[in-house]
Structure 1
Amino acid sequence: MAFKLIESAQKRWRAVNAPHLVALVRAGATFVRGKLVERPEESPTIGGKSKAA
């Protein structure tokens, strides 16, 4: 029974095609549409103005 469950699940699994990026993901890197976001906004803008201004 377990073998059949695992076998059916494997059909839906996606292979890791970029193993060099796995370490980045584990470290908390953010990807948007497949591109690495190097410096995400730390304080979002409100009404077109930043909080610091």
Structure 2
Amino acid sequence: MAAAPAMGFRLVESAQQRWRAVNAPHLVALVRAGARFERGHFVGRSESHAA
């Protein structure tokens, strides 16, 4: 039973080397709230979250 979590850990560990780091953590909350960015510039909130 311990083989599955160990394999999952190894897969995540190897994939982590290819992941791109978040270079603007202060903007993550805006994205989660529905903000839209185009080419790195804020353009507004999406209509579905603007209520």
Alignment TM-score, normalising by the size of structure 2: 0.63
Q: Which runs of 4+ in 1 moved over 2 A?
A: 1-4
Whose helix proportion is higher, 1 or 2? 2
Q: Distance in 2 between matches of 1:39 and 1:28?
A: 5
Paired residue secondary structure (2:26): helix
Identical-residue share of aligned pairs (%): 76
Count of aligned pairs: 41
Superposed CA RMSD in Å reads: 2.1
Higher relative contact order (CA 8 A, sep 6+): 2
Q: What is the CA-CA distance between 1:2 and the residue it aligns to? A: 2.6
| Runs of 5+ unmatched residues, structure 1 | 43-53
The answer as to 2:34 corresponding to 1:28 is: yes
Paired residue for 1:12? 18
Alignment TM-score, normalising by the size of structure 1: 0.61
Q: Distance in 2 between matches of 1:19 and 1:12?
A: 19
| Runs of 5+ unmatched residues, structure 2 | 1-6
